[in-house]
Structure 1
Amino acid sequence: MRITASVGCWTTGRHLTRALDASLRRLGVETIDLYQLHGWDTHIPVEETLSFLDDAIRAGKIHHAGLSNFTGWQLQLTVSTAKAMGVHVPLTLQQQYSLLSRESEFEMIPAARHNNIGLLPWSPLAGGLLTGKYQRGTTPAPDPRAGSDDALYRWVSAEYASLDRNWATIDQVVRIAAEIGTTPAQVALSWIADRPGVTAPIFGARRRPRSRSRGRGPADVDRAPRSTQVPRRPLAASVRPDRFTRDVQWRWRRGAGAARGAPPRTRAAPRRT
């Protein structure tokens, strides 16, 4: 199971201890298998957070610790500091990653693989766009995430839909699925599960048929003819750093916490000192 510290709250040892104990009581368990920090905290020394995680592991409250929504340098600093302190090193990185969101290939995934950290991609279906249910230029229905009242979901979906290369990728996934008799979701999940460093993708499909149908799973796509498989080289590779992680952390640094709104599209770059 995945338990995270409350988004927008500082990751002090005191806060995390209270949050962890409360989670254990709510779940009615004595130990949590995997406890992941939801994001980087610029306000709290990483040594304090790592000391808490190590104490929690030694106390038997958690088995393993992990990270989520970290940049490459933040992950490396965390791992290097943990080794220098002689405490437990985080074992997982949960990061946004899909055929439409490949920014993590810039530095986050290489950093994770260098440190033998397992990758747990979230949103591998790109908010549902890789299921083939959305059409270019149409307004999403209210039920899916893209059409919900949540400003963050709408912003992310609009970002995906604004790029021609994303629609070209979706068209290819839909074509391949039709040729091998499976669903676009299965093709997308097969691709992500086969990426170097990936331990297991995490997706939040609301309906079972979106990710599995006709008695076949993502692994079955590997048995399709090579000519119809998703190419291992990028269909539509991104060429910019991980904007989602950067923008979310930008909000947290300014006290927005878990505000569910779209980050500004442009802003001045931070000054170097």
Structure 2
Amino acid sequence: MSAADLTVEGVTLTAGARHLVRDVSLAARPGETIGLVGPNGSGKSSLLRTVYRVLRPDAGRVRVDGADAWSLPVRRLARTVAAVVQEPGSGLDLAVREVVAMGRTPHKRLLAGDTPEDAALVGSALAAVDVTHLADRPFDRLSGGERQRVLIARALAQQPALLVLDEPTNHLDIRHQLDVLGVLRRLPATVLLALHDLNLAAYYCDRLYVLRDGEVAASGPPAEVLTPRLLAEVYGVAAEVGVHPRTGAPQVTFLPGEPRRAAPDRAGRSTA
């Protein structure tokens, strides 16, 4: 597994008259873990869909290793980019091991069977997200969190150069949130993921892009981006930001008893 270079150049995406994403640019260098954060409806999922080629941008480009992602042959794209979407799928009438083995499909000829290498990679992916004990269970009978971990295992088995994940910790308990993000952080691949938990994003991501109303409100290392002022402006909440005494990562503490400032809209007006 190698790591890809990702560049998003001035991407704009609309739905009717509404801008889902407006002139967004970002970069992920090979091997980086890049986090997208921001309130609900800020454009995180829409931006990710342009990267893993579900929604074509109205303007701008997505480049993977310098090539326009939308011009890549489907097979080459599948060998390079893997995606884990927000809603754990169901309706797959397959055992868990078979679902994870689907990640090997882009690397095999049509109708080719699994090789010992494929089996080893599937086994490693199952173990990485703690679902080995579910290998023979029907996928569609799993809980939401179990399905999420299986789909992450499928993406790991795919051995992509770029892994794109939309809220991968949804449905997961605390232990598995930490386990999954730890696995992603150790991958040699480039990782782009959307997260709601700012403390997890601060610890596991090299850099953050904060989205608001479809635009980049701030970007940079977590310690530079996550400030009380930004949290008030983007999220409309009062917060303190300190340094975790053991990890050294920024630690956000929300202050529910404090007066909350409404986040301003694009014209600077209060949205309260």
TM bucket normalised to smaller: under 0.3
Please report the TM-score for the alignment, with normalisation by the length of structure 1.
Answer: 0.26
The structure carrying a bigger strand percent of its residues is 2
Please report the TM-score for the alignment, with normalisation by the length of structure 2.
Answer: 0.26
